[in-house]
Amino acid sequence: MTDNPNGDDAATTENTADEERSITVSRVIEAPPERVYEAFLTPEDIAVWAPPDGFRADVQEVESEEGGSFRVENNAETEEMEQYSHTFQGTYQELKPDEKIVWTEDSGEGDDHSTVTVTLDTVTDGTEVTLRLDGISKDVAEEYGVAEAWEGTLEKLAGQVED
């Protein structure tokens, strides 16, 4: 693995006036943008990178077109973690092959929606993947360690696609 140009796999959190947060994580992955892009939209790859540690993913739906939806059930691997099982679902808003993916995510809990923007930039060592999550509540961001979870996701993604 190669670190990003700043020398680390940094995550940043930004506060907004309405107590919602933006979280950005970035990582250089030693794979071409085409392979990284494909991994975000292929059920077999999603099953590897999507679940948080201690969970397994059941990819139920992936319609990889603008306006298409996806649904992934993240199921706990142990009884102690069962209460944290959750659904990861949303709608693809923008798909620019090998460059950008934007989706809205629905937690399934009322009006709790967020937007995820993934950008893929070619760098010397492969692809810099930047993931920005907008519209997550402060409470959820802190309680569930969302920045750390997304950093783990990018680590799993790297393991899945790197040569």
Q: pLDDT grade, residue 140 (50/70/90)?
A: low
Exposed e or buried b for every residue in 102-122, given b needs 16+ CB within 10 A? Answer: bbbbbbeeeeeebbbbbbbee
**Domain-by-domain residue ranges, the chain?**
11-161
Give residue-wise pLDDT tens across range 49-80. Answer: 988 888 899 999 999 999 999 999 888 888 88
Whether pLDDT at 33 is above 90: yes
Dist. CA 159–CA 156, nearest whole Å: 5
Please report the pLDDT score of residue 48 as a whole number. 93
- Nearest partner of 28 among 1, 64, 55, 62, judged by Cα: 1
User: What single-letter DSSP state applies at residue 83?
Assistant: G
Q: pLDDT grade, residue 3 (50/70/90)?
A: very low
Give residue-wise pLDDT tens across range 39-52. Answer: 999 999 999 998 88
Mean pLDDT, residues 80-98 taken together? 89
Q: pLDDT grade, residue 135 (50/70/90)?
A: confident
More confidently predicted of 47 and 147: 47
Mean pLDDT, residues 125-151 taken together? 81
What CATH architecture does domain 11-161 belong to? 2-Layer Sandwich (3.30)
Q: pLDDT grade, residue 12 (50/70/90)?
A: very low
What's the count of helices (H) and strands (E) in the chain, helices before strands? 4, 8
Please report the pLDDT score of residue 85 as a whole number. 77
Whether pLDDT at 141 is above 80: no
State the greatest distance between any 2 C-alpha atoms of the chain, in Å, as a whole number.
44
Please report the pLDDT score of residue 108 as a whole number. 54
Please report the pLDDT score of residue 20 as a whole number. 61
Q: How far is CA 157 from the centre of its chain?
A: 9
